[in-house]
Structure 1
Amino acid sequence: MRTVRSMIPIAIRKKYRYLRARVLSLGLHGGRNHVLTSEERRASACISVVVAIHDAPEVTDRCLRSLERNGGDAEVILVDDGSKLDRTREVIDQAITRNGWVVSRHSPARGHSRACEVGVKMTHREYICFLNSDTVVTPFCWSGMVKALQSDPRVGVVGPSTSRTSTQQTIRRAESCRFYWTDGQIDEYAFRHTTQNQEAAPVDMEYVGGFAFIVTRSAWTESGGFDPHLPNYGNEVDLCRRLKGRGYRILWTRSSYIHHLEESSFQQHFTSEELHHQRVMASSYIHTKPG
Protein backbone atom coordinates (compact mmCIF):
# COMPACT_ATOMS: atom_id res chain seq x y z
CA MET A 1 0.00 0.00 0.00
CA ARG A 2 1.44 3.33 -1.08
CA THR A 3 1.73 6.11 1.48
CA VAL A 4 0.81 9.72 0.76
CA ARG A 5 4.50 10.62 0.96
CA SER A 6 5.47 8.02 -1.64
CA MET A 7 2.97 9.51 -4.10
CA ILE A 8 4.70 12.92 -4.02
CA PRO A 9 7.33 13.19 -6.79
CA ILE A 10 10.91 12.96 -5.54
CA ALA A 11 11.82 16.33 -7.07
CA ILE A 12 9.06 18.06 -5.08
CA ARG A 13 10.09 16.30 -1.87
CA LYS A 14 13.69 17.42 -2.39
CA LYS A 15 12.56 21.00 -3.01
CA TYR A 16 10.46 20.95 0.16
CA ARG A 17 13.38 19.65 2.24
CA TYR A 18 15.63 22.33 0.78
CA LEU A 19 13.15 25.15 1.55
CA ARG A 20 12.55 23.81 5.06
CA ALA A 21 16.28 23.73 5.71
CA ARG A 22 16.61 27.32 4.46
CA VAL A 23 13.93 28.46 6.91
CA LEU A 24 15.51 26.56 9.81
CA SER A 25 18.88 28.09 8.93
CA LEU A 26 17.72 31.70 9.15
CA GLY A 27 20.06 33.66 11.40
CA LEU A 28 22.67 30.91 11.32
CA HIS A 29 25.53 32.58 9.50
CA GLY A 30 28.70 30.66 8.85
CA GLY A 31 31.02 33.63 8.49
CA ARG A 32 32.42 33.58 12.00
CA ASN A 33 35.73 31.74 12.25
CA HIS A 34 35.48 29.42 15.24
CA VAL A 35 38.76 27.94 16.42
CA LEU A 36 39.71 25.45 19.12
CA THR A 37 39.95 26.91 22.60
CA SER A 38 42.87 25.98 24.84
CA GLU A 39 40.46 23.80 26.83
CA GLU A 40 39.42 21.87 23.72
CA ARG A 41 43.04 21.45 22.68
CA ARG A 42 44.02 20.10 26.12
CA ALA A 43 41.14 17.64 26.00
CA SER A 44 42.11 16.46 22.51
CA ALA A 45 45.64 15.64 23.68
CA CYS A 46 44.46 12.55 25.58
CA ILE A 47 42.44 11.14 22.65
CA SER A 48 43.31 8.75 19.83
CA VAL A 49 40.90 9.12 16.89
CA VAL A 50 40.31 6.07 14.68
CA VAL A 51 38.66 6.70 11.28
CA ALA A 52 37.73 3.60 9.25
CA ILE A 53 37.35 4.48 5.57
CA HIS A 54 35.94 2.66 2.56
CA ASP A 55 35.66 4.89 -0.52
CA ALA A 56 33.05 7.74 -0.62
CA PRO A 57 36.01 10.08 -1.26
CA GLU A 58 34.20 13.43 -1.20
CA VAL A 59 32.47 12.75 2.11
CA THR A 60 35.72 11.36 3.51
CA ASP A 61 37.64 14.44 2.37
CA ARG A 62 35.17 16.71 4.15
CA CYS A 63 35.50 14.64 7.32
CA LEU A 64 39.31 14.61 7.27
CA ARG A 65 39.55 18.34 6.59
CA SER A 66 37.26 19.04 9.55
CA LEU A 67 39.43 16.79 11.69
CA GLU A 68 42.49 18.66 10.43
CA ARG A 69 40.93 21.98 11.51
CA ASN A 70 39.46 20.84 14.80
CA GLY A 71 41.34 17.72 15.87
CA GLY A 72 43.74 19.72 18.00
CA ASP A 73 46.48 17.53 19.44
CA ALA A 74 44.63 14.23 19.04
CA GLU A 75 46.47 11.20 17.71
CA VAL A 76 44.81 10.29 14.39
CA ILE A 77 44.79 6.81 12.86
CA LEU A 78 43.25 6.29 9.40
CA VAL A 79 42.33 2.76 8.33
CA ASP A 80 41.68 2.27 4.61
CA ASP A 81 39.42 -0.78 4.53
CA GLY A 82 39.97 -1.98 0.98
CA SER A 83 38.99 1.20 -0.87
CA LYS A 84 38.85 0.68 -4.63
CA LEU A 85 38.73 4.26 -5.91
CA ASP A 86 41.93 6.11 -6.77
CA ARG A 87 40.33 9.32 -5.51
CA THR A 88 39.89 7.81 -2.03
CA ARG A 89 43.54 6.86 -1.85
CA GLU A 90 44.45 10.35 -3.04
CA VAL A 91 42.32 11.98 -0.31
CA ILE A 92 43.96 9.81 2.35
CA ASP A 93 47.49 10.40 1.03
CA GLN A 94 46.96 14.16 0.95
CA ALA A 95 45.66 14.16 4.53
CA ILE A 96 48.68 12.16 5.68
CA THR A 97 51.08 14.52 3.90
CA ARG A 98 49.46 17.61 5.41
CA ASN A 99 49.20 16.29 8.96
CA GLY A 100 51.61 13.42 9.50
CA TRP A 101 48.77 11.11 10.52
CA VAL A 102 49.23 7.34 10.63
CA VAL A 103 47.51 5.11 8.07
CA SER A 104 46.93 1.37 7.77
CA ARG A 105 45.75 -0.17 4.51
CA HIS A 106 44.46 -3.64 3.78
CA SER A 107 42.58 -5.41 1.00
CA PRO A 108 40.05 -6.86 0.56
CA ALA A 109 37.68 -4.97 2.82
CA ARG A 110 37.12 -6.58 6.23
CA GLY A 111 34.16 -4.51 7.40
CA HIS A 112 33.86 -1.51 9.69
CA SER A 113 34.32 -3.30 13.02
CA ARG A 114 37.46 -5.15 11.98
CA ALA A 115 38.91 -1.99 10.43
CA CYS A 116 38.38 -0.19 13.73
CA GLU A 117 40.10 -3.02 15.58
CA VAL A 118 43.14 -2.61 13.32
CA GLY A 119 43.21 1.09 14.15
CA VAL A 120 42.94 0.58 17.91
CA LYS A 121 46.07 -1.58 17.90
CA MET A 122 47.99 1.45 16.60
CA THR A 123 46.76 3.91 19.25
CA HIS A 124 48.53 5.11 22.39
CA ARG A 125 46.25 7.57 24.21
CA GLU A 126 44.03 7.10 27.26
CA TYR A 127 40.77 7.58 25.35
CA ILE A 128 39.81 6.06 21.98
CA CYS A 129 37.39 7.92 19.69
CA PHE A 130 35.73 5.98 16.88
CA LEU A 131 34.80 8.51 14.19
CA ASN A 132 32.79 7.63 11.08
CA SER A 133 34.08 9.03 7.80
CA ASP A 134 30.71 10.70 7.11
CA THR A 135 30.98 13.15 10.01
CA VAL A 136 32.06 16.78 10.36
CA VAL A 137 34.16 17.48 13.45
CA THR A 138 33.46 20.82 15.16
CA PRO A 139 35.60 22.97 17.49
CA PHE A 140 33.18 22.09 20.30
CA CYS A 141 33.40 18.34 20.72
CA TRP A 142 36.38 17.18 22.80
CA SER A 143 36.22 18.87 26.20
CA GLY A 144 32.58 18.01 26.89
CA MET A 145 33.14 14.32 26.26
CA VAL A 146 36.38 14.22 28.26
CA LYS A 147 34.70 15.98 31.20
CA ALA A 148 31.92 13.40 31.13
CA LEU A 149 34.45 10.55 31.02
CA GLN A 150 36.27 12.00 34.01
CA SER A 151 33.12 12.74 36.02
CA ASP A 152 32.85 9.19 37.40
CA PRO A 153 35.30 6.26 37.25
CA ARG A 154 32.38 4.04 36.22
CA VAL A 155 31.93 5.92 32.91
CA GLY A 156 33.15 3.78 30.01
CA VAL A 157 31.63 5.41 26.91
CA VAL A 158 30.52 8.95 26.01
CA GLY A 159 28.84 10.23 22.85
CA PRO A 160 28.06 13.79 21.63
CA SER A 161 24.95 15.47 20.31
CA THR A 162 24.52 15.20 16.55
CA SER A 163 22.36 15.76 13.50
CA ARG A 164 21.46 12.13 12.81
CA THR A 165 21.61 8.87 14.73
CA SER A 166 19.22 6.26 16.11
CA THR A 167 19.21 7.59 19.69
CA GLN A 168 18.00 10.72 21.51
CA GLN A 169 21.36 12.35 20.71
CA THR A 170 19.75 13.60 17.48
CA ILE A 171 18.91 17.33 17.47
CA ARG A 172 15.90 17.75 15.18
CA ARG A 173 16.80 21.14 13.73
CA ALA A 174 20.25 19.89 12.79
CA GLU A 175 18.76 16.69 11.36
CA SER A 176 16.56 18.64 8.95
CA CYS A 177 19.53 20.72 7.80
CA ARG A 178 22.30 18.15 7.88
CA PHE A 179 22.89 18.03 4.10
CA TYR A 180 22.50 21.76 3.55
CA TRP A 181 24.72 23.49 6.11
CA THR A 182 28.21 24.60 5.20
CA ASP A 183 31.02 23.70 7.58
CA GLY A 184 30.88 27.29 8.86
CA GLN A 185 27.17 26.96 9.65
CA ILE A 186 27.79 23.62 11.35
CA ASP A 187 30.46 25.20 13.57
CA GLU A 188 28.16 28.12 14.41
CA TYR A 189 25.31 25.77 15.31
CA ALA A 190 27.67 23.63 17.40
CA PHE A 191 28.83 26.76 19.24
CA ARG A 192 25.25 27.78 20.08
CA HIS A 193 24.11 24.29 21.04
CA THR A 194 27.06 23.47 23.28
CA THR A 195 27.05 26.93 24.90
CA GLN A 196 23.36 26.58 25.79
CA ASN A 197 24.00 23.12 27.25
CA GLN A 198 27.33 23.78 28.94
CA GLU A 199 25.94 23.07 32.41
CA ALA A 200 23.56 20.29 31.38
CA ALA A 201 24.17 17.03 33.19
CA PRO A 202 25.18 14.07 30.99
CA VAL A 203 22.38 11.62 30.25
CA ASP A 204 22.71 7.91 31.07
CA MET A 205 22.00 5.80 27.98
CA GLU A 206 21.61 2.14 27.09
CA TYR A 207 23.93 2.83 24.15
CA VAL A 208 25.17 5.76 22.07
CA GLY A 209 25.22 6.19 18.30
CA GLY A 210 28.17 4.63 16.51
CA PHE A 211 28.90 7.65 14.27
CA ALA A 212 31.27 9.07 16.94
CA PHE A 213 31.94 8.05 20.52
CA ILE A 214 34.81 7.82 22.98
CA VAL A 215 35.61 4.75 25.07
CA THR A 216 38.23 4.57 27.80
CA ARG A 217 41.13 2.27 27.02
CA SER A 218 40.53 0.29 30.21
CA ALA A 219 36.86 -0.30 29.31
CA TRP A 220 37.80 -1.27 25.75
CA THR A 221 40.39 -3.77 26.97
CA GLU A 222 38.06 -5.25 29.58
CA SER A 223 35.25 -5.66 27.03
CA GLY A 224 37.45 -7.42 24.48
CA GLY A 225 36.57 -4.89 21.78
CA PHE A 226 34.04 -5.26 18.98
CA ASP A 227 32.37 -8.59 18.28
CA PRO A 228 33.74 -10.02 14.98
CA HIS A 229 30.26 -11.39 14.21
CA LEU A 230 29.07 -7.78 13.73
CA PRO A 231 31.25 -6.51 10.85
CA ASN A 232 29.21 -3.41 9.96
CA TYR A 233 26.15 -2.92 12.16
CA GLY A 234 25.37 -3.03 15.84
CA ASN A 235 28.93 -3.00 17.16
CA GLU A 236 28.40 0.08 19.33
CA VAL A 237 25.14 -1.32 20.73
CA ASP A 238 26.78 -4.63 21.58
CA LEU A 239 29.85 -2.96 23.12
CA CYS A 240 27.72 -0.69 25.33
CA ARG A 241 25.50 -3.61 26.35
CA ARG A 242 28.51 -5.65 27.47
CA LEU A 243 30.07 -2.72 29.31
CA LYS A 244 26.82 -1.95 31.15
CA GLY A 245 26.74 -5.59 32.19
CA ARG A 246 30.15 -5.02 33.78
CA GLY A 247 28.94 -1.99 35.72
CA TYR A 248 30.05 0.79 33.39
CA ARG A 249 27.96 3.89 32.63
CA ILE A 250 27.21 4.98 29.05
CA LEU A 251 26.66 8.74 28.70
CA TRP A 252 25.47 11.30 26.18
CA THR A 253 26.75 14.83 26.76
CA ARG A 254 24.95 17.79 25.20
CA SER A 255 28.02 19.97 25.69
CA SER A 256 29.69 18.29 22.68
CA TYR A 257 28.55 18.27 19.05
CA ILE A 258 29.75 16.33 15.99
CA HIS A 259 27.74 16.61 12.76
CA HIS A 260 26.65 13.36 11.11
CA LEU A 261 25.72 13.33 7.43
CA GLU A 262 24.77 9.64 7.50
CA GLU A 263 26.32 8.91 4.13
CA SER A 264 28.51 6.08 5.37
CA SER A 265 30.75 4.58 2.71
CA PHE A 266 30.27 1.16 4.31
CA GLN A 267 26.57 1.31 3.35
CA GLN A 268 27.15 1.92 -0.34
CA HIS A 269 27.80 -1.74 -1.23
CA PHE A 270 24.25 -2.76 -0.36
CA THR A 271 20.66 -2.16 -1.47
CA SER A 272 18.19 -0.75 1.06
CA GLU A 273 16.72 -4.25 1.47
CA GLU A 274 20.16 -5.72 2.19
CA LEU A 275 20.91 -2.96 4.70
CA HIS A 276 17.60 -3.59 6.47
CA HIS A 277 18.35 -7.31 6.59
CA GLN A 278 21.78 -6.66 8.10
CA ARG A 279 20.29 -4.41 10.79
CA VAL A 280 17.61 -6.97 11.67
CA MET A 281 20.15 -9.80 11.85
CA ALA A 282 22.52 -7.70 13.97
CA SER A 283 19.72 -6.77 16.38
CA SER A 284 18.61 -10.40 16.67
CA TYR A 285 22.17 -11.55 17.32
CA ILE A 286 22.84 -8.90 19.98
CA HIS A 287 19.66 -9.63 21.92
CA THR A 288 20.07 -13.42 21.91
CA LYS A 289 23.79 -13.74 22.69
CA PRO A 290 24.89 -14.29 26.30
CA GLY A 291 25.62 -11.10 28.28
Structure 2
Amino acid sequence: MPALPSSSPFPQALAACADLWRGDELGAADGPARPTGHAALDAQLPGGGWPVGALTELLQPAPDAPLWPLLLPALAAAVAEREAPVVLVGPPHEPFGPALAGAGLPVQALLWVRAGTAAERLWACEQALRCAGAAAVLAWLPQARAAELRRLQLAAARHAALLFVLRPEADREGASPARLRLRVAPSEGRPDQLDVQVLKRRGPPMAAPLALPARSAHMAALLAAASRRRRMAVPDAASAGGGATVLRLDPRRPRRTDFQEAGHALAGAVVAA
Protein backbone atom coordinates (compact mmCIF):
# COMPACT_ATOMS: atom_id res chain seq x y z
CA MET A 1 0.00 0.00 0.00
CA PRO A 2 1.47 3.38 -0.96
CA ALA A 3 2.20 5.78 1.87
CA LEU A 4 -0.11 8.74 2.43
CA PRO A 5 1.31 12.04 1.20
CA SER A 6 2.57 14.41 3.85
CA SER A 7 -0.15 16.87 2.92
CA SER A 8 -2.91 14.36 3.69
CA PRO A 9 -5.15 15.35 6.64
CA PHE A 10 -5.40 11.76 7.88
CA PRO A 11 -2.10 11.57 9.85
CA GLN A 12 -2.96 14.77 11.69
CA ALA A 13 -6.49 13.57 12.40
CA LEU A 14 -5.21 10.25 13.72
CA ALA A 15 -2.67 11.97 15.96
CA ALA A 16 -5.46 14.06 17.47
CA CYS A 17 -7.41 10.95 18.60
CA ALA A 18 -6.32 10.39 22.19
CA ASP A 19 -8.14 7.04 22.42
CA LEU A 20 -6.53 5.59 19.32
CA TRP A 21 -4.13 2.71 19.90
CA ARG A 22 -1.37 1.98 17.38
CA GLY A 23 -0.25 -1.63 17.01
CA ASP A 24 3.43 -0.76 17.39
CA GLU A 25 2.87 0.96 20.76
CA LEU A 26 2.18 -0.41 24.24
CA GLY A 27 -1.58 -0.21 24.74
CA ALA A 28 -3.51 0.88 27.79
CA ALA A 29 -4.98 -1.72 30.14
CA ASP A 30 -8.64 -2.68 29.73
CA GLY A 31 -9.05 -2.92 33.51
CA PRO A 32 -7.19 -2.70 36.81
CA ALA A 33 -3.68 -4.07 37.14
CA ARG A 34 -1.54 -5.06 40.12
CA PRO A 35 2.18 -4.16 40.06
CA THR A 36 4.38 -7.22 39.60
CA GLY A 37 7.04 -5.97 42.02
CA HIS A 38 9.58 -5.87 39.17
CA ALA A 39 9.91 -2.34 37.75
CA ALA A 40 11.46 -3.52 34.49
CA LEU A 41 8.56 -5.91 33.86
CA ASP A 42 5.89 -3.38 34.86
CA ALA A 43 7.24 -1.04 32.22
CA GLN A 44 6.49 -3.69 29.57
CA LEU A 45 2.92 -4.50 30.63
CA PRO A 46 -0.26 -2.57 29.80
CA GLY A 47 -1.44 -0.87 32.97
CA GLY A 48 1.94 -1.44 34.61
CA GLY A 49 1.28 -4.86 36.15
CA TRP A 50 -0.61 -8.16 36.18
CA PRO A 51 -4.17 -7.74 34.83
CA VAL A 52 -6.89 -8.23 37.46
CA GLY A 53 -9.94 -10.12 36.24
CA ALA A 54 -8.09 -11.65 33.30
CA LEU A 55 -6.13 -14.76 32.41
CA THR A 56 -2.33 -14.51 32.47
CA GLU A 57 -0.64 -17.50 30.84
CA LEU A 58 2.90 -18.47 31.84
CA LEU A 59 4.77 -20.91 29.59
CA GLN A 60 7.63 -22.92 31.12
CA PRO A 61 10.18 -25.41 29.74
CA ALA A 62 9.37 -27.78 32.63
CA PRO A 63 6.56 -27.90 35.25
CA ASP A 64 9.02 -27.50 38.12
CA ALA A 65 10.99 -24.63 36.57
CA PRO A 66 11.52 -21.60 38.87
CA LEU A 67 8.43 -19.42 39.05
CA TRP A 68 7.84 -18.11 42.57
CA PRO A 69 10.38 -15.24 42.41
CA LEU A 70 8.38 -13.78 39.52
CA LEU A 71 4.98 -13.95 41.26
CA LEU A 72 5.80 -13.57 44.96
CA PRO A 73 5.71 -9.75 45.25
CA ALA A 74 2.23 -9.46 43.72
CA LEU A 75 0.84 -12.49 45.56
CA ALA A 76 2.13 -11.28 48.93
CA ALA A 77 0.57 -7.86 48.32
CA ALA A 78 -2.77 -9.39 47.27
CA VAL A 79 -2.92 -11.61 50.37
CA ALA A 80 -2.08 -8.70 52.69
CA GLU A 81 -4.65 -6.44 51.05
CA ARG A 82 -7.56 -8.87 50.80
CA GLU A 83 -6.72 -11.12 53.77
CA ALA A 84 -7.54 -14.06 51.54
CA PRO A 85 -5.62 -17.16 50.41
CA VAL A 86 -3.76 -18.03 47.23
CA VAL A 87 -5.21 -21.21 45.70
CA LEU A 88 -2.74 -23.61 44.06
CA VAL A 89 -4.36 -26.12 41.70
CA GLY A 90 -2.21 -29.14 40.82
CA PRO A 91 1.29 -27.78 41.57
CA PRO A 92 4.10 -30.21 40.60
CA HIS A 93 5.67 -30.12 44.08
CA GLU A 94 5.19 -28.63 47.51
CA PRO A 95 6.28 -24.97 47.80
CA PHE A 96 9.26 -24.22 50.06
CA GLY A 97 7.60 -22.53 53.02
CA PRO A 98 10.51 -20.53 54.51
CA ALA A 99 11.32 -18.89 51.17
CA LEU A 100 7.70 -17.85 50.63
CA ALA A 101 7.31 -16.60 54.19
CA GLY A 102 10.53 -14.62 53.89
CA ALA A 103 9.10 -12.84 50.86
CA GLY A 104 5.89 -11.95 52.71
CA LEU A 105 3.66 -14.88 51.70
CA PRO A 106 2.97 -17.06 54.79
CA VAL A 107 2.33 -20.73 54.12
CA GLN A 108 -0.88 -20.43 56.13
CA ALA A 109 -2.26 -18.36 53.24
CA LEU A 110 -1.84 -21.20 50.71
CA LEU A 111 -4.63 -23.60 49.77
CA TRP A 112 -3.12 -26.53 47.88
CA VAL A 113 -5.63 -28.52 45.80
CA ARG A 114 -4.53 -31.95 44.61
CA ALA A 115 -6.39 -32.82 41.43
CA GLY A 116 -5.25 -35.81 39.39
CA THR A 117 -7.07 -35.46 36.08
CA ALA A 118 -7.30 -32.53 33.69
CA ALA A 119 -11.05 -32.30 34.23
CA GLU A 120 -10.62 -32.17 38.02
CA ARG A 121 -8.07 -29.40 37.73
CA LEU A 122 -10.33 -27.31 35.51
CA TRP A 123 -13.26 -27.81 37.88
CA ALA A 124 -11.18 -26.85 40.91
CA CYS A 125 -9.84 -23.76 39.14
CA GLU A 126 -13.34 -22.58 38.19
CA GLN A 127 -14.62 -23.12 41.74
CA ALA A 128 -11.67 -21.20 43.17
CA LEU A 129 -12.35 -18.26 40.84
CA ARG A 130 -15.95 -18.17 42.04
CA CYS A 131 -14.82 -17.87 45.66
CA ALA A 132 -14.84 -14.24 46.71
CA GLY A 133 -12.34 -15.23 49.42
CA ALA A 134 -9.48 -16.07 47.01
CA ALA A 135 -6.78 -13.45 46.49
CA ALA A 136 -5.33 -15.28 43.47
CA VAL A 137 -5.44 -18.62 41.66
CA LEU A 138 -2.43 -20.46 40.23
CA ALA A 139 -3.34 -23.48 38.11
CA TRP A 140 -1.03 -25.97 36.38
CA LEU A 141 -3.06 -27.00 33.31
CA PRO A 142 -0.77 -28.71 30.78
CA GLN A 143 -3.68 -30.29 28.88
CA ALA A 144 -6.10 -27.35 28.77
CA ARG A 145 -7.64 -26.49 25.40
CA ALA A 146 -8.42 -23.01 24.11
CA ALA A 147 -12.17 -23.37 24.80
CA GLU A 148 -11.47 -24.38 28.40
CA LEU A 149 -9.12 -21.44 28.87
CA ARG A 150 -11.86 -19.12 27.58
CA ARG A 151 -14.15 -20.41 30.34
CA LEU A 152 -11.51 -19.58 32.93
CA GLN A 153 -10.99 -16.15 31.36
CA LEU A 154 -14.73 -15.42 31.74
CA ALA A 155 -14.76 -16.67 35.33
CA ALA A 156 -11.79 -14.46 36.24
CA ALA A 157 -13.48 -11.44 34.63
CA ARG A 158 -16.72 -11.96 36.54
CA HIS A 159 -14.99 -12.13 39.91
CA ALA A 160 -12.07 -9.71 39.38
CA ALA A 161 -9.51 -12.36 40.34
CA LEU A 162 -5.81 -12.70 39.65
CA LEU A 163 -5.47 -15.84 37.53
CA PHE A 164 -2.20 -17.44 36.43
CA VAL A 165 -2.31 -20.58 34.29
CA LEU A 166 0.95 -22.54 33.91
CA ARG A 167 1.40 -24.45 30.65
CA PRO A 168 4.26 -26.14 28.75
CA GLU A 169 6.46 -24.08 26.47
CA ALA A 170 5.55 -26.51 23.69
CA ASP A 171 2.11 -24.82 23.52
CA ARG A 172 3.69 -21.52 22.52
CA GLU A 173 2.50 -21.71 18.91
CA GLY A 174 -1.09 -22.60 19.84
CA ALA A 175 -3.92 -20.10 20.10
CA SER A 176 -4.74 -18.72 23.53
CA PRO A 177 -7.45 -16.35 24.84
CA ALA A 178 -5.07 -15.08 27.55
CA ARG A 179 -4.89 -11.29 27.91
CA LEU A 180 -1.21 -11.63 28.75
CA ARG A 181 1.18 -14.41 27.77
CA LEU A 182 4.78 -14.81 28.96
CA ARG A 183 7.60 -17.30 28.67
CA VAL A 184 9.48 -17.88 31.94
CA ALA A 185 12.68 -19.94 31.99
CA PRO A 186 15.97 -20.18 33.90
CA SER A 187 18.73 -18.20 32.25
CA GLU A 188 21.38 -20.42 30.64
CA GLY A 189 24.51 -20.39 32.75
CA ARG A 190 22.98 -18.04 35.33
CA PRO A 191 21.19 -19.95 38.13
CA ASP A 192 20.47 -16.64 39.90
CA GLN A 193 18.54 -15.23 36.94
CA LEU A 194 15.20 -15.77 35.17
CA ASP A 195 14.54 -14.92 31.53
CA VAL A 196 11.03 -13.47 31.13
CA GLN A 197 9.69 -12.68 27.68
CA VAL A 198 6.29 -11.18 26.92
CA LEU A 199 4.83 -13.12 24.00
CA LYS A 200 1.36 -11.58 23.94
CA ARG A 201 0.16 -8.20 25.18
CA ARG A 202 -1.71 -5.21 23.87
CA GLY A 203 1.25 -3.99 21.93
CA PRO A 204 4.20 -5.41 19.98
CA PRO A 205 5.92 -8.60 21.23
CA MET A 206 9.20 -8.17 23.06
CA ALA A 207 12.28 -8.68 20.92
CA ALA A 208 14.41 -9.98 23.80
CA PRO A 209 13.64 -11.38 27.27
CA LEU A 210 14.06 -9.47 30.51
CA ALA A 211 16.58 -10.70 33.07
CA LEU A 212 14.95 -10.87 36.51
CA PRO A 213 16.37 -12.27 39.77
CA ALA A 214 15.63 -15.97 40.32
CA ARG A 215 15.70 -15.54 44.10
CA SER A 216 14.08 -13.02 46.38
CA ALA A 217 16.39 -10.67 48.27
CA HIS A 218 15.51 -12.43 51.54
CA MET A 219 16.29 -15.88 50.13
CA ALA A 220 19.56 -14.65 48.63
CA ALA A 221 20.56 -13.29 52.05
CA LEU A 222 19.67 -16.62 53.72
CA LEU A 223 21.74 -18.59 51.22
CA ALA A 224 24.69 -16.23 51.61
CA ALA A 225 24.52 -16.54 55.40
CA ALA A 226 24.31 -20.35 55.19
CA SER A 227 27.32 -20.39 52.86
CA ARG A 228 29.34 -18.30 55.29
CA ARG A 229 28.38 -20.57 58.19
CA ARG A 230 29.42 -23.65 56.23
CA ARG A 231 32.80 -22.12 55.41
CA MET A 232 33.33 -21.30 59.08
CA ALA A 233 32.18 -24.73 60.27
CA VAL A 234 34.36 -26.85 58.00
CA PRO A 235 37.75 -25.99 59.59
CA ASP A 236 36.36 -26.57 63.11
CA ALA A 237 34.99 -29.97 62.14
CA ALA A 238 38.23 -30.96 60.45
CA SER A 239 40.30 -29.99 63.49
CA ALA A 240 38.02 -32.07 65.70
CA GLY A 241 38.38 -35.07 63.40
CA GLY A 242 34.71 -35.04 62.43
CA GLY A 243 32.88 -34.45 59.17
CA ALA A 244 31.75 -31.10 57.81
CA THR A 245 28.70 -29.53 59.39
CA VAL A 246 25.59 -29.83 57.23
CA LEU A 247 23.01 -27.05 57.52
CA ARG A 248 19.44 -27.92 56.68
CA LEU A 249 16.40 -25.72 56.30
CA ASP A 250 13.24 -27.53 57.35
CA PRO A 251 10.47 -26.84 54.80
CA ARG A 252 7.04 -26.53 56.35
CA ARG A 253 3.97 -28.04 54.71
CA PRO A 254 0.88 -25.92 54.20
CA ARG A 255 -1.35 -26.69 57.15
CA ARG A 256 -5.04 -26.28 57.96
CA THR A 257 -5.85 -22.61 58.08
CA ASP A 258 -8.57 -20.30 59.28
CA PHE A 259 -9.84 -20.15 55.71
CA GLN A 260 -10.53 -23.89 55.80
CA GLU A 261 -11.97 -23.84 59.30
CA ALA A 262 -14.44 -21.19 58.16
CA GLY A 263 -15.86 -23.60 55.58
CA HIS A 264 -14.07 -22.42 52.44
CA ALA A 265 -15.64 -23.87 49.29
CA LEU A 266 -12.45 -25.78 48.49
CA ALA A 267 -11.64 -26.89 52.03
CA GLY A 268 -12.55 -30.49 51.27
CA ALA A 269 -9.99 -30.67 48.49
CA VAL A 270 -7.14 -29.07 50.40
CA VAL A 271 -4.18 -31.10 51.55
CA ALA A 272 -3.41 -30.23 55.16
CA ALA A 273 -0.66 -31.56 57.39
TM-score of the superposed pair, with normalisation by structure 2: 0.29
Normalized per residue, the structure richer in helix is: 1
- Whichever of the two has the greater Rg, that structure is 2
